[in-house]
Amino acid sequence: MPYLIHALGRGWPLALLVVLGCLALGADVGEGQQRDICGCANDPNSLGDFDAINQATYPPGTTRTAVNGGGHNRITIPLPGSGVLSFKSFAATYANFFGGCCDNRTDIVFVRNAANNPVTILVAGDVQIGPSVFLMVNGDDATSGSSGINGLGGLGGPGGFRGGDGAYQFTNLAADGGAGFGPGGGAPGTGSTATAPQTQGQNATFVGIPELLPLVGGSGGGGGASSTNSVGCSAGGGGGGGGALLIAANGTITVDGTISGDGGTPGFPANNCSTIGGTGSGGAVRLVANQLTGTGLILARAGSRCGNCGDGDRPGSRGSIRLEAFTNSLPGDRTDPPASRALAPGPLTSPITTAVAITKINGQTVPIPPQGVFGVTDLVLPAPGTVPIDIRTTGVPGGTTVQVTVKPRVGGAAVSQNAALSACDSTGVCTTSTAFDLPPGEFLVEARATFQTP
């Protein structure tokens, strides 16, 4: 769960982000076993049959708008607090709702919820992603630097992480950008003018295991650097990490359109005394069904270096795609990156329940859910100095090392410390703490525990 803190008045801000980490292998379900793969065959909360052509079947709050003159339209679905949408069937087919002539396609996108959950779509029957339909959990593009403001990091797709902000010495007093959010966030660009040349924000890296348990999206790219304090020496932000998507269906998933969890594009510098941000990493897409078929595309690519550069200019880290079905006829060249494939559906969630939470900073209780992943302040501390950070875990073995990382919002490199879980009770709840000596500024704090199940 993510947290963030901004400065108000003379307050000292601290940004906090909690990243769950664990390794857990999923077991395949045998061919002869009951095939309620989604666990939703008799779901009382089912939204019924979804039909992209029929607005009467849309989840509450869904909107449909015209893009680029009308031939291109967008269906925007609010993600509930659980992150889970349950349907009897899911039919996403294209129709020209607004009478436009060009760019004929339908995008289906999701509004992030407060907890920034991945998108989980459970379907008791079949799923159809038709031609000219794009089902997307992409990371947002960063903004570019300008004379008035530094470039800002793009938000991650649902379940993904924000890019770092760009430096602009004239406004935020920073020569170095901000690191990308998330466990594989890109390093910030550096703005040295004497001992070394300035560097751009670094591209993010996807961090996860092939089974996608837990399901976590991509990390954000690092923000660019500013080498002088002149007006307009403003760097670009880092692209947001691709989101995370799970579709589980008891029937057949047919992909003839596109499913996409790409990372976001970085922002550009205002001029050559500052630098571009890094790309967001690709996210995570997992499809689980009785049968998978189609001739469409499934994508989890790094962000493009620019919006019009084409697919050949994606220098960052791809995400992860996982396909699980008894019968899978989706061609191997229809996924980027290449998908890991299982011969039967595995469990939809990790067989163990784990959680890593930062509970207090300098004695202040952090809010739940935290909003730092969106660039929103979670806590304001009264002064810089030595700041204790308290951590609580559930389902993580005692003795496991928790890595705590503090990333300046802009202006410097991340610093990390390790804290071993030593105080555990009979229910599996463990605690630990560490402390950082921090200067004035605004910071993001991330905690992660990595361990392997027996």
pLDDT at 141 over 90: yes
Q: Characterize the bridge pairing of strands 244-255 and 284-293.
A: parallel
Task: Tell me what the mean pLDDT of segment 157-162 comes to.
Answer: 98
What is residue 9's predicted lDDT score, i.e. its pLDDT? 27
Whole-angstrom Cα distance, residue 127 to residue 336? Answer: 21
Sequence-distant (≥ 6) Cβ neighbours of residue 174 within 8 angstroms: 167, 168, 191, 226, 410, 411
Burial class of residue 391, CB neighbours in 10 A (0-12, 13-18, 19+): buried
Query: 6 pLDDT exceeds 50?
Result: no
Quote the pLDDT of residue 19: 38
Contacts of 155 (CB under 8 A, 6+ apart): 112, 139, 140, 162, 240, 373, 374, 375
List 389's β-bridge partners, or say none. 361, 434
Binned at pLDDT 50, 70 and 90, residue 315 comes out as confident
- pLDDT tens string 414-426: 999 999 998 899 8
pLDDT over 90 for what percent of the chain? 81
pLDDT at 24: 30
Q: What is the pLDDT of residue 310?
A: 61
Residues 6+ apart with CB under 8 A from 115: 1, 81, 83, 369
Q: Which of 12-21, 116-125, 438-447 has the lowest mean pLDDT?
A: 12-21
Q: CA torsion sign, 293 to 297 to 301 to 303?
A: negative
Residue 303: is its pLDDT beyond 60? Answer: yes
pLDDT band at 369 (very low <50, low <70, confident <90, very high): very high
Starting at the edge strand that comes first in sequence, how are the strands of the sheet with 429-438 ordered? Answer: 364-365, 355-361, 385-394, 429-438, 423-424
Average of per-residue pLDDT values in the chain: 90
Q: What are the structural domains of the chain?
A: 12-22+357-449 (2.60.40), 26-351 (no CATH)
Quick one: tokens of 154?
């793009």
Q: Which ranges of 105-222 would DSSP assign to H, the alpha helix?
A: 169-172
DSSP 8-class letter at 80? P
Q: How many residues does the chain have?
A: 454
Q: Band the pLDDT of 10: cuts 50, 70, 90.
A: very low
Which residues share a beta bridge with 75?
A: 64, 108
Strand partners for 2: 17
Burial class (CB in 10 A: 0-12, 13-18, 19+), 344: middle
